[in-house]
Amino acid sequence: MARITERKEITHVDVEDVLIGRKCDICGKDILPLEHDHGYNYFCIATHHSDWGNDSIESWEYKDACCPDCVMTFTEAYIHKAFERHVNSKEIEIKHCRSLGQGSPEDY
């Protein structure tokens, strides 16, 4: 039995989800690239405490905020909650982020 063949170029297309933006953890607004320079403009907030010694590593939490007002809203609520719980130490780190990979470690 003889086969008839022909050479053809076959192209494989991979489809995957690609991170194109974020959602503000405070107000829910979409954080998408700025139109004029394709960069981003949002705030990365990291919170943690050192009350548990070495186990405090588990206290790290990450939030994204779309604007200074959302940063203030989150910060005020976070500090109020800390006072209610009589927590000894609370730390808040706020970074003005211009690219998606500057936030939480899960992004890397």
Assigned token pair, 37? 């320079």
Q: Which of 37-41, 74-78, 88-92 has the highest mean pLDDT?
A: 74-78
Instruction: Return the residue matching tokens 């009350």.
Output: 51
What percent of the chain is modeled with pLDDT above 90?
A: 28
Question: Residue type at 48?
Answer: H
DSSP assignment letter at 80: H
List, for residues 44-81, the tens digit of each pLDDT value. 999 887 766 666 678 888 999 999 999 999 999 998 88
pTM score: 0.69
d(CA 91, CA 31): 25
- pLDDT-derived band at 108, boundaries 50, 70, 90: very low
Average confidence score pLDDT of the chain: 81
